[in-house]
Structure 1
């Protein structure tokens, strides 16, 4: 069995807290689903398991997307930007809900005429998810 080196993790420009911003993009439509953070362990687990794992800054712990809701993100591709300080993961959003508000994605507010307008419906009430 050949062991794969994890030296690729050293190429990421981690911030002072050991984190990197991550954008989750729907692999088949190109829609941006959400933004989150990863530490080294989260990125390694995401790569190894092919399921999105993030770092929760508010809870100071790993957060496996879908662990409570069942709305997992199956990872098809992991990319690093030109400055090596932002990760893009292309995912299949299981269940069609990426946002904890019960919407398809987290970017459901659109600035129009100086006001933030909600332009996406709630697919499932968060009380029924969590």
Structure 2
């Protein structure tokens, strides 16, 4: 179990992105999004063509739905179902989380927290150059 963030922060910021190791040992981006029941966690990619929802600017959402930035398919933020567009009839892969006293925890036995942010956001410099002008 790993502490991620708070329900309040997800609702205020609109989403939260982190990277976890999947069951095969590979990094997987996960998003937390606000929904009427609190917060939901989904793998950060549309079920059609694996387009990430959060590309570093937060998850695009409207009226409780996650919007695929590529084709516009809409996914219900709480249950992950899509009923329109290219991804119609699919459901986002979910990640098990728990909320305790307003704090969100990763509890999915198949995923191990690696770091906040996307796969390439390891907290280090974006460049190895130390050149200053």
**Bigger proportion of residues as helix:** 1
Structure 2-normalised TM-score? 0.32
Structure 1-normalised TM-score? 0.33
Relative contact order (C-alpha < 8 Å, sep 6+): which is higher? Answer: 2
